[in-house]
């Protein structure tokens, strides 16, 4: 086996996704704890404990107790190198999550056993289903009074459009929660409240043994036997291939805050999750085992370290070997670039890496060279597909409150929108800056970061715009005429592409009907297709 084959066999790269407050960031932290990457776990949102979640490193995240940027963390476990991408749960930052899903090979979906499947969960799963991404489901907070586990499984199948197969099963829930029975290992894991240590209370118990009655009580033992019989009768035997094809999701139960059920989840993940897979480009499908390096930027983050004003582009390695200090071809700019200090991440802690293999996520210092979706290769002209910008839903004009800080404001809004949390459009006359987002919270975050990271103060003025459509035409004269007629309803995105800013869906439909030579696009994907 070649070195690259050995390295690829070790790699597992996945995202943790969920609705806000389902316990996603807590689960991320506990996986790091079990993986030995951190020594103690801190309460994520407790005001009494000053330690905040390992993966929430931006100041505003610590204050609000929510994840607003995707964090990348790497740790070793059982001979594997595991890359976790912890994503924002808040719907206002869904676009960051959608793009992150293009950079992973599988997903762990966290469900709150009390609330079940929520709206944001459905939306996230739609993106996974589009790519047939393999999904493992972790039903969290079993120490709280929640829904019946069978009802939860039915809801998962109906709302998420995926078959499920429980691999662990709870004995009771809430105040009487006793633990989970591992259906494949035939082991009972006993629950106890345990927020900081990694301990197991586990017993090998056959379902028909009297030891089970003795350990969990006769009534609960009989209920477990009935439940398992029903599971084996209703659900197909677990098959790794159907999981890898995205057709069935194995289900685990636990309580992340109490370190319970996390080890079983991690062990199963190591055994069944996919290796780095081939990826489509606008030219061909690229196999990870190819000798020549290629990869794409799926995220940009400014000011990970506020003291140094650094800007990091997160690159997913797709094929070959990335080497420190080597020149690579930036396909969009058609120029050579090299990186003397590429990094791997443990949240905000960074470590210089000499090389990276398919599946790895590498941080590259960026001086403004990169945009989301940019591709690096060893010379071949190709572009990785599937990282579009989506049409925003809320639009506000950015007003500078301090004319002396105009340069800082321009630089700040340029860099922050490069991160993909929002889109920037320039409208004439007057070079007016219009920011479009999918949620109100992003405006608050941008305003906060502009002031605290760039020293620029601003306010927002709401606009009547409700949709932005990128416009193209095979006839340049027709396009220019449309732009001239629409005047102030035309903005330009960061790549100087014209965008029609409409105040309603009806307005888009009317203009589409009246201008058959103009194409209206609701995502920026046309730019990749057009090359």
Report pLDDT digits (tens) over 239-260.
999 999 999 999 999 999 988 9
Say if residue 331 is in the same domain as residue 254.
no
3-class secondary-structure state, position 288? coil
What are the DSSP calls for 226-243, one per residue? Answer: HHHHHHHHHSPPP-HHHH
**Domains in the chain: how many in total?**
3
| Residues 258 and 352 grouped into a single domain | no
Phi, psi torsion values for 323, nearest 5 degrees: -120, 135
User: Residue 394: in which H helix or E strand, if any?
Assistant: strand 394-400
Does 195 reside within a domain? no
| Residue 283 lies inside a defined structural domain of this protein | yes
292 and 426 share one domain = no
Residue 312 lies in a domain: yes
The verdict on 443 and 518 lying in the same domain is yes
Residue 197 belongs to a domain: no
425 lies in some domain: yes
| Domain identity same for 168 and 316 | no
3-class DSSP state of 39 = coil
Of the three residues 323, 349, 377, the one that is the final residue of a domain is 377
List of the chain residues with pLDDT < 70: 37-71, 88-96, 194-200, 302-310, 345-350, 386-390, 524-531
Co-location of 289 and 371 in the same domain = yes
CA 391 to chain centre: 19
Matching residue, tokens 């002031």: 451
**Residue 223 lies inside a defined structural domain of this protein:** no
CA distance 167 to 184: 7
Q: Which residue has the tokens 């990169």?
A: 370
Q: Which two tokens stand for residue 33?
A: 């704890």
Residues 291 and 330 in one domain: yes
The answer to whether residues 480 and 516 belong to one domain is yes
* Of residues 28, 127, 18, 139, the one with CA closest to residue 86: 28
**417 and 318 share a domain?**
no
Evaluate whether 508 touches 519 at the Cβ level (below 8 Å).
no
Q: What is the residue range of 510's domain?
A: 394-529
Q: How far is CA 110 from CA 141, 190, 495, in A?
A: 10, 21, 37
Task: Check residue 67 and give its pLDDT.
Answer: 38
- What pLDDT score was predicted for residue 363? 87
Same domain, 248 and 300: no
Give the domain-ending residue among 377, 406, 433.
Answer: 377
Q: Which token pair is 429?
A: 């006359």
Single pTM value for the model: 0.77
CATH number at residue 523: 3.30.70.3280
- The CATH number linked to 13 is 3.40.50.300
Q: Exposed, middle or buried by CB within 10 Å (0-12, 13-18, 19+), for 9?
A: middle
Q: Report how far residue 231's alpha carbon sits from residue 237's, in angstroms, rounded to the nearest whole number.
A: 10
57 lies in some domain:
yes
Residue 148: per-residue pLDDT:
95
In a domain, 151, yes or no: yes
Quick one: pLDDT at residue 387?
A: 60
> How many other C-beta atoms are found inside a 10 Å radius of the C-beta of residue 216?
22
Write down the pLDDT at residue 208.
84
Residue where one domain finishes, among candidates 346, 377, 408: 377
Compute the distance between CA of residue 324 and CA of residue 374 in angstroms, rounded to an integer.
Answer: 19
My answer on whether 90 and 154 are in the same domain is yes
Does one domain contain both 74 and 100? Answer: yes
């Amino acid at each position: 086996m070649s070195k690259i084959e050995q390295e690829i066999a070790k790699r597992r790269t996945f995202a943790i996704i969920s609705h806000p407050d389902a316990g996603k960031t807590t689960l991320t932290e506990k996986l790091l704890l079990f993986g030995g990457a951190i020594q103690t776990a801190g309460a994520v949102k407790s005001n009494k404990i000053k330690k905040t979640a390992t993966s929430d490193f931006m100041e505003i995240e610590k204050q609000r107790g929510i994840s607003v940027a995707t964090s990348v963390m790497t740790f070793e476990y059982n001979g594997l190198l595991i890359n976790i991408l912890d994503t924002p749960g808040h719907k206002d930052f869904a676009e960051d999550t959608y793009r992150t899903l293009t950079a992973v090979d599988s997903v762990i979906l966290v469900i709150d056993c009390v609330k079940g499947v929520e709206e944001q969960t459905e939306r996230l799963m739609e993106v996974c289903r589009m790519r047939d991404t393999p999904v493992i489901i972790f039903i969290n907070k079993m120490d709280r009074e929640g829904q019946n586990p069978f009802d939860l499984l039915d809801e998962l199948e109906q709302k998420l459009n995926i078959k499920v197969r429980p691999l662990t099963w709870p004995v009771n829930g809430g105040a009487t929660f006793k633990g989970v029975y591992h259906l494949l290992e035939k082991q009972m894991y006993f629950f106890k409240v345990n927020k900081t240590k990694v301990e197991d209370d586990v017993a090998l118990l056959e379902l028909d043994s009297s030891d089970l009655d003795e350990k969990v009580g006769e009534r609960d033992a009989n209920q477990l036997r009935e439940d398992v019989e029903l599971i084996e009768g209703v659900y197909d035997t677990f098959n790794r291939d159907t999981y890898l094809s995205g057709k069935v999701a194995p289900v685990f139960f636990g309580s992340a805050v109490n370190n319970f059920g996390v080890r079983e989840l991690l062990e199963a993940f190591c055994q069944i999750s996919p290796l780095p897979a081939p990826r489509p480009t606008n030219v061909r499908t690229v196999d990870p085992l190819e000798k020549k390096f290629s990869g794409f930027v799926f995220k940009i983050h400014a000011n990970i370290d506020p003291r140094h004003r650094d800007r990091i582009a997160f690159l997913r390695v797709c094929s070959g070997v990335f080497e420190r200090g080597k020149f690579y071809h930036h396909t969009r700019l058609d120029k050579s670039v090299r990186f003397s200090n590429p990094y791997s991440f443990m949240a905000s802690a960074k470590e210089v890496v000499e090389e990276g293999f398919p599946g790895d996520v590498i941080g590259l210092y960026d001086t403004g060279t990169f945009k989301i979706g940019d591709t690096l290769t060893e010379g071949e002209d190709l572009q990785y597909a599937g990282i579009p910008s989506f049409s925003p839903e809320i639009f506000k004009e950015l007003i500078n409150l301090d004319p002396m800080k105009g340069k800082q404001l321009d630089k700040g809004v340029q860099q922050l929108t490069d991160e993909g949390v929002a889109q920037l459009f320039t409208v004439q006359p007057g070079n007016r800056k219009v920011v479009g987002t999918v949620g109100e919270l992003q405006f608050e975050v941008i305003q906060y970061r502009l002031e605290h990271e760039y020293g620029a103060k601003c306010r927002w003025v709401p606009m009547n715009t409700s949709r932005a459509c990128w416009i193209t035409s095979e006839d340049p004269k027709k396009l220019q005429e449309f732009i001239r007629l629409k005047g102030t309803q035309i903005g330009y995105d960061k790549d100087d592409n014209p965008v029609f800013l409409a105040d309603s869906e009806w307005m888009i439909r009317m203009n589409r009907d009246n201008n058959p030579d103009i194409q209206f696009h609701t995502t920026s994907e046309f730019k990749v297709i057009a090359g």
